[in-house]
Amino acid sequence: WHMKNTFAIATLEGFSKWAKAGLKAFASCDLRHYELPNTEAVLEKYNEHVLSVGGQLSKQEGKTLHYNVVAEVGLTGVDAGTLAVDGSVDINVPFLGDTLQVRGDGFFHRETPSFYYRKFHGRHAWWDDNLDKTIHSRIMGTLRFGKTNTTLRVAVDEIKNYTYFSQSYNVTEEGLRTGVTVTPMQSSGAINLLTAQLEQNFKLGIFHWENQITYQHSSDKSVIPVPTLNVYSNLYMKFRVVKVLNIDMGADMRFFTSYEAPDYSPYMGQYTVQGNGENNVKVGDYPII
């Protein structure tokens, strides 16, 4: 179980002529409780106490400029030395009789891998690992124009000490899995992920056509596997019958290029990367309608 208490002091944006932005300071006390069997099949209790402090600066009023920055630092416990900084800013300018929004988002997270990556005791899997803190940073820009229902988004991620599960097994002639092994892994280097996405929606009377195309590139596809191209299209009619019954009727299509899709581990209830080397299975390169 998990219990968290937060004490905060905040000043509201605009409460005086000098308060051009909202300001908040907070402190959080976090208690996480876990129970795992030991080698004698007796449940052993683990408690993690974490104290953190942080602050927020935000501006949401007005039509042109908005921003929000939140920072939090871990002071004690397993999260001592962690840091989370999240920020966003958007500028809205008149353009062709509508509003063009330019938005930037970013974050820097230095965080401890979750408990079950570090420690797990079970019938089919068992580990006690010391893992380094994961460092994840992202910069994302978004361009949105409501008049044409167009959204363009580009993001760059860099992840150091990425933590994940890998699953390997043997397949019998009957197609059964044997010798299933799940292992927590941590990549020692930096992994870069580039994402570019275009959304374009159309509307003509009762006809709606929603489209999304996404390009992704991972610098290490064995750790973060992603399809290079992902396309989604949804064509439907939306209308009302006898002024009371709303009906949406249509079809959608999904397509993505082939890649080594994540496997699923019933042991952990988590998705994992495929760890069978040359025997990894690729999926994709066909439409789903």
- Listing DSSP states for 13-75 in one string gives TTSSTT--SEEEEEEEEEEEEEEEE-TTS-EEEEEEEEEEEEEEEEE--SSSEEEEEEEEEE-
The per-residue pLDDT of the chain, averaged, comes to: 95
In whole angstroms, what is the distance from residue 162 CA to residue 160 CA? 5
Is residue 72 one of the residues assigned to a domain? no
Residue 177 has pLDDT above 90, yes or no: no
Is residue 107 one of the residues assigned to a domain? no
Percent of the chain with pLDDT over 70: 100
Residue 174 has pLDDT above 90, yes or no: no
Is residue 218 one of the residues assigned to a domain? yes
- Average pLDDT, integer, range 48-68: 95
Is residue 159 one of the residues assigned to a domain? yes
Is residue 224 one of the residues assigned to a domain? yes
Residue 270 belongs to domain spanning: 112-288
Is residue 171 one of the residues assigned to a domain? yes
Is residue 133 one of the residues assigned to a domain? yes
Query: pLDDT (tens digit, 9 = 90+) per residue, 185-198?
Result: 999 889 999 999 99
Q: How many domains does the chain fold into?
A: 1
Query: pLDDT (tens digit, 9 = 90+) per residue, 96-113?
Result: 999 999 999 999 999 999
Is residue 1 one of the residues assigned to a domain? no
